[in-house]
Amino acid sequence: MMIDLNNKQRNMSHLETEMAQLKAETMKMWELVNLQLAKGKEALVKLDKDLAREIILSERRVNAFELKLDRDCENIFALFNPVAVDLRFVLAVLKINNNLERTGDVVKGIAKFVTNVDNSFDKKLLDITRAVEMYQATIDMMADVLDAFDKEDTIKARKVFKKDELVDEINFNANKAVADYIREHERTFANESKAAAGKNTDSSIRVHDEHVESALYLLSIIRKLERVGDQATNIAEEIIFYVEAKVLKHKTEKERNQ
Amino acid sequence: MMYKIESKNVAFYYGSHKALKNINIAIMNNTVTALIGPSGCGKSTYLRLLNRMNDLIENTKVEGEILIDGQNIYGKGVNVDSLRTKVGMVFQKPNPFPKSIFENVAYGLRVNDINDKNLIEERVVTSIKQVALWEEVKDKLKKSAFELSGGQQQRLCIARALAIQPSVLLMDEPTSALDPISTAKVEELVYELKTKYTIVIVTHNMQQAGRVSDTTAFFYMGELIEYDNTKIIFTNPKQERTQNYITGRFG
């Protein structure tokens, strides 16, 4: 009896059905994480503490997804012994699951900072650190890899490597930007103090202190965003591994582009 | 909740040899249960108890109860022929009758006093379609069943069993004699059939148990060592002997 190995039109086998379900679950978790990430940006820019608290509560759902996906992968390995592309797919999902959970954790951390900061971040501070631009870049990267995963598009997956350079650049320059900002605030405050003959009002002292504190919080947030960028590039590597069986981990930029 | 098949303290003797000891299993409707274990562990013996095929062997004894749909099939006054229309069986080596493809499937109906030509034809066609064999044989129903490949013959035997509309299907290593493609087709078939039937399948192939079954029973030296959801048996079995068997750590 001849069998047609080229025939794409056929019913899905039991294993294919399970894997399609695994993919759908992964994307549900992913959409939740991306939503958390987007909410985080809004909470940061508007200093919306209610939104921040919402993000913190929703993190539980991300964790629940992680546990379920781990179990689903384990079951597929145990029951079906997948090989070749099927094996690579389940291995990739196992790792992406981890990346997504850590991204969720990072966003929760950012939301916690937002609940701790007293006043909105100074617009000038946000501008000179390019924090909002950096945040948007990470949102774009996570959206890109989700789409790349869905469509098995390794070209789209590779795009995030370039975007990560921007994220790294902003992170790298953040120290200097924040230090400059604090120093300028110190000078302004020192002048004010001179003018007030050492009798600053309580509120002016408080405002100064808050500006310095919020600058440091923003620096922490920038660090966290850099990690989101890293998670997105890790995910891109997993997608390329599963689709092309190519391992890009720990390769230099030059090696990657070969 | 009533179970489809229940074994209560079942023991079985070949002469004085106790081949099965204290077997207790409750199988739910519309599930696939795999019976696994090394050669001689009693899994096929147990399977054959479910349609009283062991009655055909001399000098054997059954103890305990086996209930199907709540009725003890070893009770007084049970009609064994009637039982065997309710509980069908498929064997390891495909064994089509020396008849045409059509007649192989129709035979069971005729032997059960079904003579209506239209009804027979309807049942035969339905059964052959159920086993995904129709496209391959629809133009040669009058040809001998021996002209079919091994995998096709086995699916024909399954169709033959299904034609008399059993509610339980027993399968004794149904793919041992088949090539990988035919095996995969039969496995897909088993997975699809469970929506309509309760299936108990003996298999030497542990991966097969993983692929097709909802629950798995591990037999060893006549005893039931462990019976649980297949997922649990294959990810975290409770008994060390079960784990040793499925991981291949046996002396």
B114 in contact with A, Cβ within 8 Å: no
Q: What's the pLDDT tens digit per position in A37-90?
A: 999 999 999 999 999 999 999 999 999 999 999 999 999 999 999 988 999 999
Instruction: Say which of A78, A80, A81 has its CB closest to residue B235.
Output: A78
Residues of A whose CB is below 8 A from B210:
78-81
Instruction: Say which of B181, B184, B210 has its CB closest to residue A79.
Output: B210
For residues A231 and A242, what is the distance between their CA atoms, to the nearest angstrom?
A: 17
B235 in contact with A, Cβ within 8 Å: yes
Mean pLDDT of B192-200: 95
Q: Do the interacting molecules here have an ipTM over 0.85?
A: no
Residues of B whose CB is below 8 A from A13:
184, 188
Residues of B whose CB is below 8 A from A75:
231, 235
B211 in contact with A, Cβ within 8 Å: yes
**What does the pLDDT read at residue A206?**
76
pLDDT tier, A9 (very low <50, low <70, confident <90, very high otherwise):
low
Instruction: Say which of A1, A3, A80 has its CB closest to residue B211.
Output: A80
pLDDT tier, A1 (very low <50, low <70, confident <90, very high otherwise):
very low
pLDDT tier, A258 (very low <50, low <70, confident <90, very high otherwise):
low
A13 in contact with B, Cβ within 8 Å: yes
**What does the pLDDT read at residue B251?**
61
Q: Using alpha carbons, select from B59, B60, B26 the residue that is nearest to residue B200.
A: B26
Q: What's the pLDDT tens digit per position in A39-52?
A: 999 999 999 999 99
A1 in contact with B, Cβ within 8 Å: yes
Q: Chain B residue with minimal CA distance to A18?
A: B211
Question: What does pTM read for this prediction?
Answer: 0.84
For residues A34 and B97, what is the distance between their CA atoms, to the nearest angstrom?
A: 62
Instruction: Say which of B151, B184, B230 has its CB closest to residue A79.
Output: B230
Whether residue B184 and residue A13 make contact (CB cut-off 8 A), yes or no, is yes
**Bridge partners of residue B21, in order along the sequence:** B223
Residue A19 has pLDDT above 80, yes or no: yes
Mean pLDDT of B50-79: 95
- Per the prediction, chain A carries an average pLDDT of 91
Mean pLDDT of B205-212: 94
The token pair at A87 is 């094996």
